[in-house]
A and B are shown apart, each in its own frame.
Chain A
Amino acid sequence: MNASVAWALLLKDLRTEWRSRDRLVAMIVFSFLVIVVFQFAWPPMDSKEMLRFAPGVLWVTYVFAAIIGLGRTFAMELENDAMTALALAPGTRGWIFLGKATATWILITTVQAMTAFVFTLFFRVDLWQGIAGSALIVALANVSICSVGTLLSAMSVRSRFRDVLLPVLLIPTLIPVLMAAVRGSTATFAGEAPPFDALQLLIVIGGVYSILCFLLFDYVLDE
């Protein structure tokens, strides 16, 4: 088995998502709601103060929305017992992981871009300055979120209380990613270049998580 499996799964997942748009719509609506909830939870602020809170609020929203999307990644394979078919595919299962994780990465990044756009409109915060740096940080952090998320989603889907289990398993493993991403975004939102130490950390964590999850995924699927 080789990269063609990953490619086939990626196209399949994107096509399914495009035809139903279930996950996309659910994640976007959820993200907007979280931002609206934050609006009621914090005291009135001017846009300068808002800019200080923006990285934290956005990243919390991103992670929550990602959990919603990740929860469905393998749940949809349970229908018609497609999980068994995936497990029966010959060769290294890591490629299945790669296809799934990449599809989720594209989905999550799309939702995050739309969330950031709405955030800019509603809260009069200018995120356009340093947009390239912000995009780089989001892209790197999503590698970690999607790799661990895909692995844990494949595990939690096989358990009772899967909706509760996924966030409980996922959030502690994402804390370093979250801290580095918030640190990076704080700089880029202010129009500065992304700090090197945050980028370095995101690259290392992303690399470690991706390789580890690629190898460990072999043991996740059964039957």
Chain B
Amino acid sequence: MNASLDSLAPGATIGRSQRVLGWILLLLTPGYAWVVVGAPTDAVQGTMQKILYVHPPLAYGAYLGFVVTAIGGALFLWRGEERHDQLAIAGAEVGTVFCSLMLITGPIWARGAWGPGNWWVWDARLTLTLLLWFVYLAYLLLRSFTEGEERTARFASIYGILGVVLIPLNYWIIDLVGGNAQHPENIQSGSLGEGMGLPFLVGNLTLFFAFAYLLVLRWRVGVLRAEGERLDYENETTR
């Protein structure tokens, strides 16, 4: 009995942090909407330029999700604890959602900014993101096609680690082949127009907390579900 209480403890900690993150997110969201609506309209691109406050923050979430997957996978291979595998799943699923949203908002902005027909350009970052998206779709497919829970967790961990190694490699190769850079190298201080800095910052913060909240929520669901299954199994075998 003691053992099962102990293993529930991480679930409880996750639950507490999930509530804290939820409150922060709830407080940030109205402020986010307020500053984005109030932000100055771009002289060239008009209202559409406000995708800026959504699109790059989504990208950070996507990358973060994939890093979380690799860390969770490595921890699982090292320690063999189920909760680390659940963290890896959470990272992959939330990361895939953020990545998909980024791949949807990007072309909308692109078509508006670069002219009709320009839904897609084989630019360095676009190509890289698309590849990562495919890697994580493959990760999720691998999870659903492998038989046996422990084996699924092991295989997925391995693939998650391979996937994250691809990020620096892709950056290097795409840089070398010389994809035409449609994306700015980095957002330097001052490259944003006047009055756009604050909404951009608030957007990054809000979407970061949205990411963290969803990640922890998904993690908690996974941990509790695994715990429930384990208790069911124990009940059946001791009966």
Contact = CB atoms under 8 A, between A and B. Distances in A.
Interface stretch (A30-38, A115-123, A151-159): A151-159
A169 interface: yes
A179 B155 contact: no
Given A165-B141, A212-B161, A172 B131 contact: yes
Given A165-B141, A169-B159, A216-B158, A160 B169 contact: no
B142 interface: yes
A179 B131 CA distance: 13
B173 A222 contact: no
Nearest to B132: A172
Q: How large is the interface on B (under 10, 10 to 19, 20 to 34, 35 or more residues)?
A: 20 to 34
Contact of B155 (A158, A197, A204): A158
A173 B162 contact: yes
B141 A201 contact: no
A220 B157 CA distance: 10
A160 B170 CA distance: 30
Given A155-B159, A168-B138, A176 B146 contact: no
A179 B179 CA distance: 12
A175 B161 CA distance: 17
B151 interface: yes
Interface string B165-193: 11001101110110000000000000000
Given A205-B169, A219-B77, A172 B154 contact: no
A208 interface: yes
B234 interface: no
Contacts of A179: 173-174, 177
B158 to A, nearest CB: 5
A161 interface: yes
Contacts of A220: 154-155, 158
A151 to B, nearest CB: 7
A204 B168 CA distance: 12
Given A155-B159, A216-B158, A220-B155, A172 B166 contact: yes
Contact of A155 (B135, B137, B155): B155
A196 B15 CA distance: 53
B6 interface: no
Contacts of B145: 159-161, 165
A148 interface: yes
B142 A216 contact: no
Output the residue of B131, B141, B155 with the most chain A CB within 10 A: B155
Interface string B104-130: 000000000000000000000000000
A174 B176 CA distance: 16
A6 interface: no
Contacts of B157: 219
A158 B147 CA distance: 7
B34 interface: no
B100 to A, nearest CB: 16
Given A159-B146, A168-B138, A169-B138, A208 B158 contact: no
Given A155-B142, A159-B147, A175-B131, A212 B162 contact: yes
Given A169-B142, A197-B176, A176 B147 contact: no
B134 interface: yes
A183 interface: yes
A175 B170 contact: yes
B132 to A, nearest CB: 8
Contacts of B170: 175-176
Report which residue of A148, A165, A173 has the largest number of chain B beta carbons within 10 angstroms of its beta carbon. Answer: A173
A15 to B, nearest CB: 29
A223 B62 CA distance: 36
B141 to A, nearest CB: 6
B168 to A, nearest CB: 9
16 contacts: A152-B159, A155-B146, A156-B142, A159-B146, A168-B137, A168-B138, A169-B142, A172-B134, A172-B135, A175-B173, A176-B169, A201-B173, A201-B176, A204-B169, A216-B158, A222-B154
The 8 A-B residue pairs whose C-beta atoms are closest, nearest first, are: A159-B145, A176-B173, A172-B134, A159-B146, A172-B135, A176-B169, A155-B155, A216-B158
Given A159-B145, A160-B147, 5 more contacts: A160-B145, A173-B163, A201-B172, A216-B158, A222-B154
